[in-house]
Homo-oligomer: A and B are copies of this chain.
Amino acid sequence: MAAATAPIIHSTFNIDRIFHALGDPTRRAILEHLSHGPAALSILAKPLDITVAAVVQHVQVLETSGLVHTEKVGRVRTCRMEPAGLSAAERWMQERRTTWERKLDRLRALLGEN
C-alpha cells in the first residue's frame, strides 16, 4: 500500500559517492564557491590553502560523484556545479526524515486517543 513504487530513472547518481564527497569540508567549500558560478581550478585553489594538485583531486571526487562537471578549454579546466546530485542527496534525507516524522505523528495520535 501507500505510495506506488517510484520508477528508478535517475539512478545515474551514486548516493554513496555523493555523501562521501559531501563529507569533506574542503569539497563543500568548493561546492559553495561553484554555487556562485563556474570557476577554473586555479581560481578554486586560491582561497583554500592547499596545493593545486590537492584541489584537482577534490574536484575529481566531486566529478565522479556527479556533483560537479568539468570541461577543459585550452589549458583551463572550468568546473560547474551539477545540482541534480544535490537533489538526490536532499531526497534521501527527506525520505528518511519524513518516514520518521510520520511514525511520530501516528504514535502521538495513539497516545492522544488514550
Contacts and interface: CB of A to CB of B under 8 A. Distances in A.
B86 A35 contact: no
A22 B25 contact: no
A99 B36 contact: yes
Interface residues of A, number: 29
A53 interface: no
A97 B35 contact: yes
A16 interface: yes
A100 B34 contact: yes
Contacts of A25: 16, 19
Interface in A37-94: 37, 81, 83, 86-87, 89-90, 93-94
Contacts of A87: 97
